[in-house]
C-alpha cells in the first residue's frame, strides 16, 4: 500500500543567538495507512521539530529546511517542504492533523468547544455551518464525551485535562485526516487518563484507517500503541525498526541505554535505575564523530578511533531494522542481547 507520509532526508536548521541549531539532520520516516509510527527521543532530540515541519508549522521566515515531506491523500500529494503556504494550509487539519502536548493550553479559552470544533470543519468546507455543528457534536460523541450536545456549548475551562485532550482529538479528526501527528499526546495527563487516551487513539485509528505519527519520550506509550519505532538522538535517527525489534533486540547503544533506564515492576529494591551518563550534545556544535560517543559504554568494541572521527551510517543486515553504530552488528547482537536478558531476568 502507498505510504501516507513519506519523510526523506529531512534537515531543519534554525539560527539562534549562539549559532545555527541543527535540530533535524537527515531524518527519513514513512507512515502507511492504519499504522502507528513512533518517534522516541529525549528533549531536544529534534522529534518535535520533525513533527511541526510535517504540518509546516516551523518558523518559515528563519528556518532552513531541506529534503522532502510527501503527503499522499486519496488522489493528491504534496511536498510540504517545497509547497507554498496556501497549499500547505489547505492540507492542515484536512489531510494532516495534529494534536499537542498540553491540552490545558491548546484550546482557545474564550470560544465554546463546539464552535472551535466547527471552525476546524468550516475552514475546509466554507459556508456549511449546520453540517459543521452537527459534525462537532458527532465527533465529541465519538471521542467519548458524555452529553455532547450540552458540552459543545461549554468553554474549555469547564473540561478536565483528559476531556480536553479528547476534544483536541475530536478537533483533529473533524475532516477525517489521512495522517494524525500526535506530539506527546499523553505527557501532561495522569497515568490512568493516559491509558484511556491511547486506547481511544487506537480505536479511532482502526475505525478511520489513518496513519499516526506519534512523538513521545515515554517507552511505555511506545510499547502500547506503536507498530514501528524510530529512535532519535541529536537530530538523527539512531535506530529504526519494528516495535518488537526495538524492545527485544535493540541494536543501537542509545536505545539500549533508554531501555535500561526504565523502571521495572519486580526489580529488586537494591537495584538502581541505570541512567545514561552525561548530557546530550549541543545541537549547535555537533561532534564530528558519532553524537553518542561521549556517553557510550561500548566504544571499546568498535574499530579504534572510528566513533570519535566518523559519523556512523544508518545500516542493518535487515532492511526493516537499521541502526547507527560502528560496532559490528554481530558483536552488538551478542553483547546487547545478554544485557537485555540480564535486565529482564
Closest approach, Cβ 40 to other proteins, in A, equals 22
Query: Could you tell me the strand order of the sheet in which 77-79 lies?
Result: 19-31, 5-16, 64-72, 77-79
Tell me, by CB under 8 A, how many residues bind other proteins.
28
Q: Which is nearer to other proteins, 155 or 247 (CB)?
A: 155
Q: Which is nearer to other proteins, 92 or 326 (CB)?
A: 92
- 14: contact with other proteins by CB under 8 A: no
Q: Which is nearer to other proteins, 44 or 103 (CB)?
A: 103
Angle at the Cα of 230 (from 225 to 233), degrees rounded to 5? 130
Applying CB under 8 A, among 24, 35, 91, 159 the residue interacting with other proteins is: 91
Q: Which is nearer to other proteins, 7 or 95 (CB)?
A: 95
- 310: contact with other proteins by CB under 8 A: no
- 214: contact with other proteins by CB under 8 A: no
Q: Which is nearer to other proteins, 110 or 192 (CB)?
A: 110
Applying CB under 8 A, among 64, 108, 147, 338 the residue interacting with other proteins is: 108
Applying CB under 8 A, among 79, 102, 227, 329 the residue interacting with other proteins is: 102
Give the binding range for other proteins (CB under 8 A) out of 23-31, 103-111, 256-264, 335-343.
103-111
Looking only at residues 110 through 169 of this chain, which bind other proteins when binding is defined by CB under 8 A? 110-111, 119-120, 123-124, 155, 157, 168
CA 203 – CA 34 distance, rounded (Å):
11
Applying CB under 8 A, among 1, 18, 59, 109 the residue interacting with other proteins is: 109
Q: Which distant-in-sequence residues (6+ apart) come within 8 Å of 119 by Cβ?
A: 111, 132
Give the binding range for other proteins (CB under 8 A) out of 87-95, 140-148, 193-201, 306-314.
87-95
Q: Which is nearer to other proteins, 100 or 336 (CB)?
A: 100
Q: Which is nearer to other proteins, 96 or 327 (CB)?
A: 96
- 83: contact with other proteins by CB under 8 A: no
Looking only at residues 42 through 71 of this chain, which bind other proteins when binding is defined by CB under 8 A? 55, 57
Q: Which is nearer to other proteins, 87 or 217 (CB)?
A: 87
- 173: contact with other proteins by CB under 8 A: no
| Four-CA torsion 337, 37, 187, 194, nearest 10 degrees | -90
Binding mask 283-302 for other proteins (x = CB under 8 A): --------------------
Query: Using CA of residue 99, residue 105, residue 111, residue 112, what is the dihedral sign?
Result: positive
Query: What end-to-end distance do the CA atoms of the chain give, in Å?
Result: 40
Contact residues toward other proteins (CB under 8 A) are 55, 57, 89-94, 97-98, 100, 102, 105-111, 119-120, 123-124, 155, 157, 168, 171-172
Amino acid at each position: 500500500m502507498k505510504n501516507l507520509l513519506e519523510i526523506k532526508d529531512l534537515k531543519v536548521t534554525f539560527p539562534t543567538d549562539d549559532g545555527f541549531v541543527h535540530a533535524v539532520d537527515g531524518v527519513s520516516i514513512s507512515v502507511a495507512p492504519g499504522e502507528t509510527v513512533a518517534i522516541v527521543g529525549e528533549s531536544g532530540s529534534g522529534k518535535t521539530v520533525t513533527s511541526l515541519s510535517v504540518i509546516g508549522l516551523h518558523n518559515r521566515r528563519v528556518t532552513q529546511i531541506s529534503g522532502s515531506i510527501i503527503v499522499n491523500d486519496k488522489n493528491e500529494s504534496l511536498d510540504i517542504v517545497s509547497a507554498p503556504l496556501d497549499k500547505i494550509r489547505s492540507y492542515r487539519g484536512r489531510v494532516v492533523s495534529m494534536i499537542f502536548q498540553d491540552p490545558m493550553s491548546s484550546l482557545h479559552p474564550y470560544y465554546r468547544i463546539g464552535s472551535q470544533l466547527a471552525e476546524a470543519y468550516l475552514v475546509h468546507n466554507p459556508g456549511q455551518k449546520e453540517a459543521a455543528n452537527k459534525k462537532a457534536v458527532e465527533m465529541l460523541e465519538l471521542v467519548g464525551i458524555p452529553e455532547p450536545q450540552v458540552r459543545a456549548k461549554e468553554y474549555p475551562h469547564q473540561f478536565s485535562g483528559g476531556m480536553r485532550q479528547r476534544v483536541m482529538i475530536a478537533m483533529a479528526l473533524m475532516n477525517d485526516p489521512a495522517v494524525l501527528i500526535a506530539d506527546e499526546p499523553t505527557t501532561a495527563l495522569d497515568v490512568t487518563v493516559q491509558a484511556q487516551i491511547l486506547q481511544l487513539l487506537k480505536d479511532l485509528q482502526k475505525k478511520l484507517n489513518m496513519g499516526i505519527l506519534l512523538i513521545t519520550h515515554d517507552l511505555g506509550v511506545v510499547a502500547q500503541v506503536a507498530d514501528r519505532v524510530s529512535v532519535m538522538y541529536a537530530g538523527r535517527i539512531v535506530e529504526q525498526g519494528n516495535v518488537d525489534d526495538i524492545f527485544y533486540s535493540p541494536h543501537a547503544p542509545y536505545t539500549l541505554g533508554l531501555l535500561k533506564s526504565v523502571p521495572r515492576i519486580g526489580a529488586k529494591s537494591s537495584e538502581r535505575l541505570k541512567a545514561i551518563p552525561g548530557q546530550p550534545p549541543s545541537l549547535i556544535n555537533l561532534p564530528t564523530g558519532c553524537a553518542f560517543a561521549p556517553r557510550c559504554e561500548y566504544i571499546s568494541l568498535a574499530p579504534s578511533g572510528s566513533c570519535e572521527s566518523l559519523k556512523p551510517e544508518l545500516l542493518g543486515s535487515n532492511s526493516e531494522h537499521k541502526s547507527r553504530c560502528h560496532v559490528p552488528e554481530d558483536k552488538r547482537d551478542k553483547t546487547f542481547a545478554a544485557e537485555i536478558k540480564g535486565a529482564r531476568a
